Structure 1
Amino acid sequence: MTPLPPAADQIAPDPAIPLPPYALRMGGQHFKKDADFVNAGVRDARVLRRRAGLGPRKRVLDWGCGAGRLAIGIKHLMGNVADYHGVDIQPELLNWAKDNLTDEHTRFTLVDAHNARYNPDGEQSFHIPAEAESVDVLYAYSVFSHMLTQDVAGYGATIASILAPKGRAWVTAFVEEDVPDCVENPTDYLKLEWKGALHCVRFDRRFFEATLYDAGLAVDEFVYGRETDGQSMYVLRRR
């Protein structure tokens, strides 16, 4: 995993805000330094503020929150939002975040959903724990990049149902033009070695966007290949 470098205007880690141990920082050696980990979260909070309407009064759902990198970034950048809800299927990461970052504005939920890479024994479900039309900003960094078509379609429909009428979903995915619809661990792709279940799922861009459209989501914005390991960025809305 090769995260983007943080913005030039870095924020010094606040000693009052707990940081997860190195072993729980998704991204490994790239986040060995506390400042790098914090500013990666700050960078994404800034992106959400600029592209998805993140603000102090917003309700945020961090789908695939890990150990709370975005929550830590939000706390450093703007203190709190009205409601931050982190959701993940990896108990060790989620439980650290729940034990160390929970407060009156910040909460975490572990779900037992199946994913062949991260939770192979989980239940087959497209459930995301949120009420209908209750999410102003949904953030899913490197989540669809580890899912096949059926899951993208199923979770896409769930996202469409939980987004507020003016809400936005900010997601990343591996997409390319004029490639097969969906390939797991494509060989010789981006000069990286993909191995293990769902390490990289690459979609044809038109196919991916059509799958989301059929699920009830439309593309507001697309930026090609600037995120982790060459993923592309989408801003989505209910259609």
Structure 2
Amino acid sequence: MRLTARRIYYYPVDLCDTILRKREDMIPPKGMVFIGSGDFKKQGLHLMDLLIKYARLKPDGQVLDIGCGIGRLAVPLTGYLNKKGSYEGFDIVKKGIDWCNKHISSRFPNFRFLHIDLKNDLYNLQTDNEAKHFVFPYRDKLFDCIVLTSVFTHMIPEDVDNYLGQIARVMKPEGKCLVTFFLLNPAIEKQMQEGKAKFDFCHRHKGYSLMDKKVKEANIAFDESYLSAMLDKNGLKAEAIHYGGWSGVEPNPLDFQDVIILTVK
């Protein structure tokens, strides 16, 4: 319903852009974009810059984009990765994957997209397949760079735990993973209590908090200590944490969400 409403809302704009040929070939119609907000192209370039600067992505790197959506990161990477580089992306929303295969993979064969049918309260209720059992369809120690933006903010702990184990398996020993979270610590909780944070995760559970108790995967925040233990269990560590703009604790944030750089222990 949410995706359909977006298509209807943006239909006049998308139709106009098509008739006037105002939209670039690898930029999807606004009505099809189901993740994030703001300028699709600008956000993709920003994310690529973060990967180059903080995850040390090289033009010949092997990239895995978990929750790749409708190609927000893939599009700018087509102009950065060379023929020795490769990109693999998967997502649970089939329409996004179909669009990427038609508009990106058809031009760049080293860019591949997979639809993975997994249940999620926010994006996919048409299956009973659970993320906690999902095995990434890639061999061990394959990727130099793994990225997840606004993915773990919509996944419950047992699903995140499985994904972290899979990330540790498929990432090269010297590889890096850039992942975004909503993190909770005493300073951030103080911001929420004083009404200074943009979000309020008021429904407390052991190790994590929800924004909406009825739609638990709408937005989820993790206690830093809880997440640290989960990382350690799966053979990962946080090389760096950059707090995002949502909480207000960092005056010059890299992004709206908290950005963590993970490495293999």
CA distance in 2, matches of 1:37, 1:195: 29
CA distance in 2, matches of 1:72, 1:201: 28
List alignment gaps of at least 5 residues for structure 2.
1-21, 190-203, 247-253
Q: 1:109-188 residue pairs with structure 2 within 5 A?
A: 109-120=114-125, 121-124=127-130, 125-178=133-186, 181-185=207-211
In structure 1, list runs of 5 or more residues that go unmatched. Answer: 1-13, 187-193
TM-score by length of 2: 0.74
How far the C-alpha of 1:209 sits from its partner, in A, is: 1.8
Asked if 1:49 is matched to 2:52, the reply is yes
Alpha-carbon distance, 1:58 to partner: 0.3
How large is the RMSD of aligned CA atoms in angstroms?
2.4
Q: State the Cα deviation string for residues 70-129 of structure 1 (Å, max 9, x = none).
A: 0112234x2546101111010011111111100222110111123232223241223222
- Aligned residue for 1:234? 260
Contact 2:144 2:176 in 1 (8 A): yes
1:238 Cα deviation after fit: 1.0
Please say if residues 44 and 73 of structure 1, whose CA atoms lie closer than 8 Å, have aligned partners that are also in contact.
Answer: no
TM-score (norm 1): 0.81
1:63 aligns with 2:77: no
Task: State how many pairs are aligned.
Answer: 213
**Rounded Cα–Cα distance in structure 2 between residues aligned with 1:99 and 1:183:** 38
Structure 2 match to 1:40:
43
- Tell which structure's C-alpha radius of gyration is larger: 2
- Residues 171-226 of structure 1 show CA distances to partners (whole Å, capped at 9, x for unaligned) of 0011110465112226xxxxxxx973411111111111211221121111100124
1:152, CA displacement in angstroms?
A: 1.2
CA deviation after TM superposition for structure 1 residue 17, in Å: 4.6
- Give me the whole-angstrom Cα distance separating, in 1, the residues matched to 2:128 and 2:66: 16
Contact (CA 8 Å) 2:121, 2:215: kept in 1 or not? Answer: no
Displacement after TM superposition at 1:140 (Å): 0.2
Identical pairs, percent: 29
C-alpha distance in structure 2 between counterparts of 1:162 and 1:27, whole Å: 25
In the alignment, what sits opposite 1:8? none
Are 2:121 and 2:218, in contact at CA under 8 Å, matched by a contact in 1? no
